[in-house]
Amino acid sequence: MGAGLNATHDPALRSWVESANAADADFPVQNLPFAVFRRADTKEPCRGGVAIGDQVLDLGALHALAPFSGLAAEALGACAAPALNALMAQGPGAASALRAALSGALRSGAAAAARLRSLLIPQAQVQYQLPASIGDFTDFYASIHHATAVGRLFRPDSPLLPNYKWVPIAYHGRASSVRVSGFDFPRPHGQLMPAGASVPQLAPARRLDYELEVGIFVGRGNELGTPIALKHAEEHVFGLCLLNDWSARDIQAWEYQPLGPFLAKNFATSISPWVVTLEALEPFRVPFTRPAQEPAPLGYLDDAAVRAGGAIDIRLEAWLDTQKMRTVGAPPQRLSHSSFRDSWWSVAQMLTHHAVNGCNLSPGDLIGSGTQSGPAADEAGSLLELTAGGRQALTLANGEQRTFLEDGDRVTLRGWCERAGFARVGFGAVSGTVLPARTA
Amino acid sequence: MGAGLNATHDPALRSWVESANAADADFPVQNLPFAVFRRADTKEPCRGGVAIGDQVLDLGALHALAPFSGLAAEALGACAAPALNALMAQGPGAASALRAALSGALRSGAAAAARLRSLLIPQAQVQYQLPASIGDFTDFYASIHHATAVGRLFRPDSPLLPNYKWVPIAYHGRASSVRVSGFDFPRPHGQLMPAGASVPQLAPARRLDYELEVGIFVGRGNELGTPIALKHAEEHVFGLCLLNDWSARDIQAWEYQPLGPFLAKNFATSISPWVVTLEALEPFRVPFTRPAQEPAPLGYLDDAAVRAGGAIDIRLEAWLDTQKMRTVGAPPQRLSHSSFRDSWWSVAQMLTHHAVNGCNLSPGDLIGSGTQSGPAADEAGSLLELTAGGRQALTLANGEQRTFLEDGDRVTLRGWCERAGFARVGFGAVSGTVLPARTA
């Protein structure tokens, strides 16, 4: 599983970009995640960039210098475009070659430092776009802790459905409403059926929630009709990001039978601008935390590599700051935290299952992991879980109470990996603010 | 609702393309549907075409002649591309102007006839592509007869769920696996849980089905966060086609709780090559057949125009020919027929509901109506309904029996409109053949 460790993971590496060397930096030279950006408030063409410390290295400008050769040059050429689909389509070899070349150019002592310094733009001065043109967005339900907690609200006696431990459950989401971090959106209207009512009403959703997820960008695609074997699944992954699948629980409760969530989810989905390559995450592979006595998956979802290192220990956090908190300058408050290592299904298992019927995945497709909750009460990845379906309000540090999100609330998801003997690898953040509902 | 009748609907119009004047022609000069095509077995660029009789008028070549001016010329320019998204984005005014200009050029006595004759290519000599690059595919569940029949199989006492008559139920489908007519595909593998078993198995689906649907291509889009008022909904529709939402019922039964169908549907969806504009369908508007005593929809889904002419009387048919039938030269056999007029929800209601939460629709998005079944037993739009969930096999004219589709079976959907005093307007057909499952 994965290509293993190489010279780019060496914890001794430092960068000539000084901000990349801080112990708590999200973007040291061992990370090198990709985004699409331009300078804020300009009409510049968008192009690819790589994060180093608090800077963006402009890959469009770098390509013009033709600094690399071979596969790395080919991959760099694809980064001059306003979406990274072509880079993703080239597969892991190309991305790895580019990563190695960038690692060489950005490390302390690199001869290229003098030429490259002028290609750095402070992250504080850029605006991001989606890293790829997203053809299809699929959202899984890979956390058994989330599935159990949500199931318990509806079926206290049998919270987990019989298919859960066998089928990586997923549904198709809406690609058109995926936005990069910083997208603020009005509280959506929808049909609600209040308890005890016999006629629904059209009204702004009252039970608006976040979902703490990992996003997966598909790299090389597969042809329609051709499944993806588990041992090759990660060759079809470009990298991972953070994903907030905003959800209107009251719209969902009334609409979701029998075909699943629809308008409850498709008004906005937010992702972090930076996509961390699977290669950068290699040091943080761990075994699943699922109990050994559980049934083994069917053969097509099971192999020794998945059992040994299929999970990735990505620490995840959800933070809230309310309008009141911002007005008085109070800091955001952490609502919950979890780790992707507790996921029931791995990235490879999700992709293999998605294509087992021949369904074709395309470069730039986005796959959500589903809400990642952990086994403990404060590891719940949504307000639905944290407030027992809205029955137990949270009291915030400033005395405000929350069951679900109120107008002006901003949710920020953060994620990072750390492990003794390795450099920290961060995902940055994805934020979004709930605006008041539109008036008709 | 709609722009009403105009000179292009005149039943007295005839075309200088003689095959367009046959009484049973799908593509008379009153229709003028759009497709994307190239000559079969060539590497020509794909471009737009309009159907006239048994011919395709090459709109790429027509554009090079610059025969039109104003809006019609602008619309024609968008037809030279290998996908019609730009034409769709221009909105109904542009499409209507182009339609009027083409109607003038293709009618008997047109001065342009001599110049245009060399731009005709027999439909038998072309291959079609998808008419647009499909950003998102949504599938509704708009036939109450289908919803009731399927519900009865699972819940005999309460077949229709409480939300059905209020919410236009829909789910997101897979855009990447939508293919134009003629796409043959292997029987998909998937997880199946046989009755009485306690462990699922990975195997080829045994309960493979077709679904008889109408497809809707979105024209002008809406911005994320901006709903579409019912009275403006049809301004966002480019046209309609036929759609077969192939379904694996056994995969669906095991996977669909709690998030809806996923791998049961996303291995292939077939559409007809020709998109019939909403304007061409104007003569066939009819009131809904829903009983008057049923609850009126909520206000955002209700207006006088929808009540008076929201439905469209599109006759729909599903035909089967098996490998055995083809071997002996036996004709295809009709399995069922229905009309889109029996739909519980109209095209406008589906669009308005889809966007009521601010969800953004984009030019070229595809929306399925869901299986269109009528009230009578032989008006069921799927084998699931025709065979009572596989319990009552159909006996075909040649003695073969079917519960679900077998390898080698070809399903063809047809659709057309007819009404006294108007020319027939047809959709052509969409076909696909089930191939044997892949061997591992």
pLDDT tens digits along A215-238: 999 999 999 999 999 999 999 999
pLDDT (average), residues B368-376 = 97
Residues of B in contact with A253 (CB under 8 A): none
Q: How confident is the model at residue B1 (pLDDT cuts 50, 70, 90)?
A: very low
For residue A300, which residues of chain B lie inside 8 Å, CB to CB? 202
**pLDDT above 80 (res B46):** yes
Given a cut of 80, whether residue B23 has pLDDT beyond it is yes
Over residues A322-353, the pLDDT tens digits come to: 999 999 999 999 999 999 999 999 999 999 99
Query: What integer is the mean pLDDT of A36-49?
Result: 97
B2 pLDDT tier (thresholds 50, 70, 90) = low
pLDDT at A418: 97
Segment A308-317 mean pLDDT = 94
Which residues of B are known catalytic residues?
Answer: 146
pLDDT of amino acid A292: 74
Does B293 or A91 have the greater pLDDT score? A91
- Give B94's pLDDT tier (boundaries 50, 70, 90): very high
Asked whether the beta carbons of A49 and A34 are under 8 A apart, the reply is yes
The alpha-carbon gap from B434 to the nearest alpha carbon of chain A, in Å, equals 12
Please indicate whether, in this complex, the C-beta atoms of A357 and B300 are within 8 angstroms of each other. Answer: no
- pLDDT, position B3: 66
Categorize the per-residue pLDDT at A1 as very low, low, confident or very high, splitting at 50, 70 and 90. Answer: very low
Asked whether residue A143 carries a pLDDT value surpassing 50, the answer given is yes
User: What are B235-253's pLDDT values in tens digits?
Assistant: 999 999 999 999 999 999 9
3-class DSSP state of A252? helix
Q: Model confidence over A58-67: pLDDT tens digits?
A: 999 999 999 9
Q: What's the pLDDT tens digit per position in B327-343? A: 999 999 999 999 999 99
- For chain B, the average pLDDT equals 96
**Closest chain A residue to the Cα of B299, Cα to Cα:** A202
Show the CA angle centred on residue B138, arms to residues B136 and B139, nearest 5°: 155
DSSP B107: B
pLDDT band for position A385 (50/70/90)?
very high
Complex ipTM > 0.95 = yes
**Pair B381, B212: CB distance under 8 Å:** yes
Residue A155's pLDDT band, with cuts at 50, 70 and 90, is confident
Point out the residue among B151, B191, B258 whose CB comes nearest to the CB of A298. B191
Rounded average pLDDT over B84-92: 98
Share of chain A above pLDDT 90, in %: 94
The pLDDT confidence band at residue A440, using thresholds 50, 70 and 90, is low
Measured distance CA(B411)–CA(B423) in Å, rounded:
27
Q: Is B186 on the interface with A (CB under 8 A)?
A: yes
- pLDDT at res. A291: 81
A92 has pLDDT over 70: yes
A224 to B353: CB separation less than 8 angstroms, yes or no = no
The mean per-residue pLDDT over the stretch A269-281 comes to 98
**Which chain B residues are within 8 Å of A365, Cβ to Cβ?**
176
A136, A171, A361 member nearest B259 (Cβ): A171
Name residues whose C-beta falls within 8 Å of residue B223's C-beta, 6 or more positions apart in sequence. B360
pLDDT for residue B347: 97
CB contact under 8 A, B299 and A267: no
Q: Is pLDDT of B42 > 90?
A: yes
**Sequential DSSP letters for B181-237:** TT--EEPPEEEE--TT-SS-EEEE-S-EE--EEEEEEE-S---TT----GGGGGGGE
The model's pTM: 0.97
- With b for 16 or more beta-carbon neighbours within 10 A and e for fewer, the B301-312 pattern comes to bebeebbebbbb
Burial of A145 (0-12, 13-18, 19+ CB in 10 A): buried
Of A9, A146, A236, A354, the catalytic one is A146
> Which pLDDT belongs to residue A280?
98
Span B145-197, pLDDT tens digits? 999 999 999 888 889 999 999 999 999 999 999 999 999 999 999 999 999 99
Say what angle helices A92-106 and A70-78 make with each other, to 10 degrees: 100
Please tell me which of the candidates A163, A177, A262 has its beta carbon nearest to residue B171: A262
B contacts of A179 (beta carbons < 8 Å): 224
Summarize pLDDT for B390-429 with one digit per residue, the tens. Answer: 999 999 999 999 999 999 999 999 999 999 999 999 999 9
